[in-house]
Chains A and B, each alone.
Chain A
Amino acid sequence: MSGSRVALFIPCYINSFFPGVGMATLTLLERFGYAVEYPEGQTCCGQPFANSGAHEEARPLAEHFVRTFSGYDYVVAPSASCVATVRRHYDPYVGDDPAYAHIKANTYEVLEFLHDVVRPESFGVSFPHSVTLHQSCHGLRELELGVSSEVMLPHYNKVLNLLEKVEGIELREMERADECCGFGGTFSIHEPEISTRMGIDKLDNAEATEAEYLAGFDSSCLMHLQGIARRLNREIKCVHVAEILAGTVEG
Chain B
Amino acid sequence: MSREALEPWHDRALWFVRQKRDRAARTVAEWEELRQLASQIKAHTMSRLDHYLERFERNAVRNGIQVHWAADAQEHNRIVEGILARHNVRKVVKSKSMLTEECGLNPYLQARGIEVIDTDLGERIVQLRDEPPSHIVLPAIHLKKEEVAALFEARLGTEPGNADPTYLTYVARKHLREHFLSADAAITGVNFAVADEGLFVVCTNEGNADLGTAMTDLHIASMGIEKVIPSLEHLGIFTRLLARSATGQPVTTYTSHFKRPKPGGELHVVIVDNGRSAILGNESNAQALHCIRCGACMNTCPTYRRSGGHSYGYIVPGPIGSSLGASRDLKRSGADIYNCTLCGSCSNVCPTRIDLHRQLYAWRKVYVERGHLPPKKRWLYRAGAWMLRSPVRARILFGTAKWATRLLPRRLLYHPANVWGRTRELPEFAPKTFARLYKERTREP
Contacts and interface: CB of A to CB of B under 8 A. Distances in A.
Contact of A226 (B5, B390, B427): B427
A137 B300 contact: no
B427 A17 contact: yes
Contacts of B426: 227
Interface string A197-224: 1110100000000000000000000011
B307 A54 contact: no
Contacts of A195: 341
Interface string A222-236: 011011101100000
Contacts of A97: none
B348 A191 contact: no
Nearest to B34: A152
Interface in B28-45: 28, 31-32
Contacts of B428: 17
A148 B346 CA distance: 11
A15 B31 CA distance: 43
A180 interface: yes
B427 A194 contact: no
- Residue among A26, A58, A180, A188 having the largest count of chain B Cβ atoms under 10 Å: A180
A88 to B, nearest CB: 9
B434 A137 contact: no
Interface string A177-199: 01110111111111111111111
A128 interface: no
Interface string A1-27: 000000000101111111110110010
B232 interface: no
B327 to A, nearest CB: 15
Given A16-B433, A52-B381, A141-B345, A152 B394 contact: no
B384 A57 contact: yes
Interface stretch (A40-48, A111-119, A160-168): A40-48
A114 to B, nearest CB: 19
A19 B228 CA distance: 56
Q: How large is the interface on A (under 10, 10 to 19, 20 to 34, 35 or more residues)?
A: 35 or more
Contact of A60 (B378, B385, B436): B385
B417 to A, nearest CB: 11
A106 interface: no
A61 interface: yes
A149 interface: yes
Chain A interface helix/strand/loop/mixed: helix
Given A44-B394, A141-B345, A194-B339, A179 B424 contact: no
Given A53-B373, A227-B425, A191 B303 contact: yes
A64 B385 CA distance: 12
Contacts of A12: 388, 394, 398
B385 A153 contact: no
B11 interface: yes
B364 interface: yes
B424 A152 contact: no
Contacts of B434: 10, 14-15, 19, 22-23, 38
Interface in B151-209: none
14 contacts: A10-B434, A12-B388, A26-B438, A53-B363, A53-B364, A53-B365, A53-B367, A53-B373, A57-B382, A61-B385, A151-B348, A180-B343, A183-B341, A230-B425
Interface of B: 1, 5-6, 11, 15, 22, 25-26, 28, 31-32, 300, 302-303, 306-307, 338-345, 347-349, 361, 363-369, 373, 378, 381-382, 384-385, 388-391, 394, 398, 401-402, 419-420, 422-430, 432-438
Given A12-B394, A142-B344, A180-B343, 4 more contacts: A52-B364, A61-B388, A201-B11, A226-B427
Nearest 3 CB-CB pairs, A to B?
A184-B341, A53-B364, A227-B424
Interface of A: 10, 12-20, 22-23, 26, 38, 40-44, 46, 48-49, 51-58, 60-61, 64, 89, 137-138, 141-142, 148-153, 176, 178-180, 182-199, 201, 223-224, 226-228, 230-231
